Chain A
Amino acid sequence: MAIRERLSGNEAVAYAIKQINPDVMPAFPITPSTEIPQYVANYIANGEIDTEFIHVESEHSAMSATVGASAAGARAVTATSSCGMALMWEELYVAASNRLPIVLALVNRALSGPININADHSDSMGARDSGWIQIYAESNQEVYDNYIQAFPIAENKKVHLPVMVCQDGFITSHGVENIMLIEDDKVKAFVGEYEPEHYLLNADERIAVGPYAVSNYYMETKRGQREAMLNAREVILEVAEKFEKMTGRKYGFFEEYRMEDAEYAVVIIGSAAGTCKAAIEHIRSTTGKKVGLIKIRVFRPFPEEEIARALANVKAVAIMDRSEMFAGTSGPLGAEVRAAMYQAHAKAEVVNYFYGLGGRDITVSDFERVYENLEKMAETHTVIGMYDYIGLRE
C-alpha cells in the first residue's frame, strides 16, 4: 500500500534520497534548496542511511566532488539552486561530457541581479545546453516521482547522462501538499543497485576520465553526447511505463490536459501548470470553450515532433516562459515550441508570454485572460507581437 503523506517539495526529494541511499552526496547550502542536504544530513546522523556526505566550501567544489565520486564508480547526487548552480557551471559540462549519471535536485530560483530568492527558471534554462537531461515538476508528488525515475534513466547504459530534477523554488519546495509515497522496498527495487560499467576504482580496467581532447577527437565526443540524448527519449518512456505499473501514475515527455478537443492551448513548465488547470476547469464549466494545456515535463531532450503533433489542431497557442533569454524575440520554451511548430507547418497563431520572473505570482484569472487573448488572436488572425508579459507593471 502506498503511504498517504503531506510533505514539502524539499522534504519529498530528501525522502526519496533516504529511500535510495546513494553512495555519495557532496553539497553546499543555498536558498531554497538548503533543506534537502539538511534533511539528508539528519538521516545520516540518525544512522538511517550510510551515504557519504561531503562538506564542501562552494558549489564549484560540490559538483567537482560529485563528478569525482561518480567517475570513481559511486552513485552520486547533489542539490542546489540559482547562483549555486551558476558556480557549478564548468562542472556541469564536465559531468555531461564524461557521461556521468549524476542526479542533481535543482530547486529553481531566479539568477541575480537584482538578487532575488524566488522561483523562476533562469538557472536551469541557462544550463539547457550543458548536456544534462532536464525533468520538471508541477507538484511535490511529481518532483518525488521524477527524482526516483531519474536514476534508471541516468544509469541506463544507452544513456549515461546526468539528470537535473527541477522544481519551483518555494512554491513547491516550501509548500506542504498531499503526496503518495512509495514503500522503501519498492523504491529500492525500482532504482536497483548501481553497477557502473567503466569506473576509476576498477583495478582490472585502467581508464582515464576527462583527458584533454584535441580537435581530432572533440567533435566526435559531442556527437556521442547527442546520441545518448536521443537514446534517452526511449529510456525516459520505458522508465515511465514501469513507474506507472508500480504506482498508477502516468508520465511522458509532457502532460496533455483537456487537449483532446482543445482549440486554445497554453504550453508551460512547472508549478503554474496546476493554476492553469484550475482556469481550464472554470472556463470549460462556465463557457464551454475548448481550452487545454501542455505541461512540459522533459525539456532536454526536447520532444519536438510530439509537441508539434499535440498542437496540430489548435487555433492559437500561448507559450509561457518563466525566464528571459534576451533574444528580444522569444524565451527558451517559446523558441523551441515555435521551431517545432514551424517544422510541422502548423497554422496556429502563436504568442510567447513571459510570466513569474523572480517569483511574480500568476493566478487563475491571469490564465483566464491568456485564453481570452488566444480567442481574440484566432478570430482576428493577429498576434499582438512576438511576445508579451503577464503581471508586468508598465
Chain B
Amino acid sequence: MKNTVEIRWHGRGGQGAKTAALLLADVAFKTGKYVQGFPEYGPERMGAPITAYNRISEDEITVHSNIYEPDYVVVVDETLLDSIDVTKGLKTEGAVIVNTEHTKEEIMRHLNGYEGTVYTVDAKSISMKALGKNYPNSPMLAATVAVSGIMGEEEFLSEMESSFQHKFAKKPEVIDGNMQALKMAFDTIKKH
C-alpha cells in the first residue's frame, strides 16, 4: 500500500461526489495507474450525506475496505462541516480541500483542529464564471489532482480534454468552458 494514494470525498446525494470520484479514477486509469473508485451507500436519497473513495496506485490494489486514514479529503458541500468530522483519520502530512467561498481561516474553525494543510476552492464561482452554471465537480476534481499531484497538470488537462470531446461530442460548445473551469481551479491551488 506504500505507493497508494487514498482519497475520501464528502458530498450530498445528487451533487456528484460519487461521479467526481469515478472521474478521478477514470483519468488516473488513462495515465496507466491501478485505480479504485467506489461509493459508500446508505439510504439512497437526494441531499443525504454520501461518501465516496479513491485508491490510486502504481501497483495492483486488492484491498476492498473503506478508507479510514486518507491522504486527502475533498469536501464538495461545506454545509457538511458541522455535522460530519470530515478530517477524521486524515493524515497530517495530507490535506483537506473544501469547496467554499469563505476564507481558509473561517473554514479551519470547523475542522476540529486539523493540523495538516487546508485548501479552499470557490468551485461555485469558478463554475459560474467558466460555464454560467453551478457544476462544482470539475473544479473540485482539478483541485484534487493539483493538491495530490497524482499526475501533472498538462497530462491531466490533455486527458480531460479528450474525455470531454467524447462526452460532449454533441455539444462541443461546452468543452471550452469545462476546460476553463479545470484550469481556474488548478490556478487557485497554485496560488495557495
Instruction: Provide the bound-state CA to CA distance between A180 and B141, in Å.
Output: 26
State how many angstroms separate the Cβ of B86 from the closest Cβ of chain A: 18
B66 at the interface (CB under 8 A from A): yes
Instruction: Specify the chain A residue showing the minimal Cβ separation from B18.
Output: A174
A31 cross-chain contacts in B, Cβ below 8 A: 44
Binary contact readout A362-374 vs B (1 if CB under 8 angstroms, 0 otherwise) = 1110000000000
Q: A6-B35, A176-B36 are in contact. Are A118 and B68 (CB under 8 A)?
A: no
Please name 9 further chain A to chain B contacts, defined as beta carbons within 8 Å, in addition to the given A6-B26, A138-B64, A177-B61, sorted by A numbering: A6-B29, A6-B35, A171-B64, A172-B64, A175-B36, A178-B60, A271-B64, A275-B64, A277-B62
Separation of A197 and B190 alpha carbons in the complex (Å): 68
Query: Which of the residues A32, A178, A274, A282 comes within 8 Å of B64, measured between beta carbons?
Result: A274
- Check if A199 is an interface residue, CB within 8 A of chain B: no
A to B CB contacts below 8 Å, 15 in the list: A6-B29, A6-B35, A31-B44, A170-B38, A171-B64, A174-B39, A174-B41, A175-B36, A176-B25, A178-B29, A178-B60, A277-B62, A278-B63, A361-B65, A361-B66
Closest 6 CB pairs of A and B: A274-B62, A175-B38, A271-B64, A6-B29, A176-B37, A363-B65
B64 nearest in chain A by CB position: A271
The answer to whether A171 touches B26, judged by C-beta atoms less than 8 angstroms apart, is no
Interface residues of A in 166-194 (CB under 8 A from B): 168, 170-172, 174-178
Q: Using a Cβ–Cβ cut-off of 8 Å, how many residues does chain A contribute to the interface with B?
A: 27
Residues in A with CB closer than 8 Å to B38 are 170-171, 174-176
What is the CA–CA distance of A121 and B21 in the complex, to the nearest angstrom?
Answer: 27
Q: Which one of B39, B41, B63, B64 has the greatest number of beta carbons of chain A within 10 Å?
A: B64
User: Are the C-beta atoms of A177 and B68 separated by less than 8 Å?
Assistant: no
On chain A, the residues within 8 Å of B44 by CB distance are 31, 117
Give Cα A137–Cα B147 distance, bound, in whole angstroms.
35
Contacts of B1 in A (CB 8 A): 278, 282, 364
- The residues of B that contact A138 with a CB separation of less than 8 Å are 62, 64
Q: Is the interface of A mostly helix, strand, loop or mixed?
A: loop
Of A32, A117, A277, A363, the residue contacting B68 (CB under 8 A) is: A363
Question: What is the CB-to-nearest-CB distance from A175 to chain B, in angstroms, rounded to a whole number?
Answer: 4
Chain B residues with CB under 8 A of A364? 1, 63, 65
Complex: chain B residue closest to A282, CB-CB:
B1
Interface residues of A, Cβ cutoff 8 Å to B: 6, 31-32, 117-118, 138-139, 168, 170-172, 174-178, 271-272, 274-275, 277-278, 282, 361-364
Min CB distance, B62 to chain A, in Å? 4
Please judge, given known A-B contacts A278-B62, A364-B65, whether A177 and B36 are in contact too, CB under 8 Å. yes
User: Is residue B164 within 8 Å, beta carbon to beta carbon, of the partner chain?
Assistant: no
CB distance from B34 to the nearest CB of A (A): 5
Alpha-carbon separation in the docked complex, A118 to B40 (Å) = 9
In the assembled complex, how far is the CB of residue B27 from the closest CB belonging to chain A, in whole angstroms?
Answer: 10
Nearest neighbor of A363 in chain B, beta-carbon distance: B65
Number of A-B contacts (CB under 8 A): 65
B60 proximity list for chain A (CB < 8 A):
178
In Å, the complex CA distance between A139 and B61 comes to 10
User: Shortest Cβ distance from B85 into chain A, in angstroms?
Assistant: 17
CA A176 – CA B35 in complex, angstroms?
8
Chain B residues bordering chain A, tally (CB within 8 A): 21
Give the CA-CA distance A256 to B137 in the complex, in Å: 42
B26 to chain A, nearest CB (A): 7
- Given the known inter-chain contacts A117-B41, A278-B1, please indicate yes or no for A178 contacting B35, CB distance below 8 A: yes
- Distance in Å: Cβ of B105 to nearest Cβ of chain A: 35
Most B Cβ at <10 Å: residue of A139, A171, A174, A177? A177
| Nearest chain B residue, comparing its CB with the CB of A173 | B38
> Is the beta-carbon distance between A275 and B63 smaller than 8 angstroms?
yes
B62 pairs with A176, CB closer than 8 A: no
Residues of B71-121 at the interface with A, using a CB-CB cut-off of 8 Å, are: none
Which residue of B is nearest A367, CB measured? B65
Interface centre among B25, B26, B65, by most chain A C-beta atoms within 10 angstroms, is: B65
C-alpha spacing A117/B40, complex, angstroms: 11
A271 neighbours in B (Cβ, 8 Å): 64
- Smallest CB-CB separation from A364: which chain B residue? B63
In the complex, whether B7 has a CB less than 8 A from a CB of chain A is no
Contact B41 A118 (CB under 8 A): yes
Name the B residues within 8 Å of A178 (CB-CB).
Answer: 29, 34-35, 60
Determine whether B146 belongs to the interface, using a CB cutoff of 8 Å to chain A.
no
What residues of chain A lie closer than 8 Å to B26, measured between beta carbons? Answer: 6, 176
Cα A6 to Cα B25 in complex, Å, equals: 9
Partner of B65, one of A32, A170, A362: A362
- Chain B residues with CB under 8 A of A175: 36-38, 64
For residue B50, CB closer than 8 A to chain A, the reply is no
Contact partner of A272 (CB less than 8 A), chosen from B35, B61, B64, B68, is B64
Say how far A320's CB is from chain B's closest CB, in angstroms.
14
Chain B, range 30-70, C-beta contacts under 8 Å to A: 34-39, 41, 44, 60-66, 68
Complex CA–CA separation, A171 to B40 (angstroms): 9
Q: Report the bound CA distance from A363 to B34 in whole Å.
A: 20
Asked if B185 is at the interface (CB within 8 A of a chain A CB), the reply is no
Instruction: Give the complex CA separation of A278 and B1 in angstroms.
Output: 8
Closest CB in chain B relative to A384 CB, distance in Å? 24
Question: A170-B39, A178-B34 are known contacts. Are A275 and B66 too (CB-CB below 8 A)?
Answer: no
B22 at the interface (CB under 8 A from A): yes
| Residues of B contacting A170 in the complex (Cβ-Cβ under 8 angstroms) | 38-39, 41
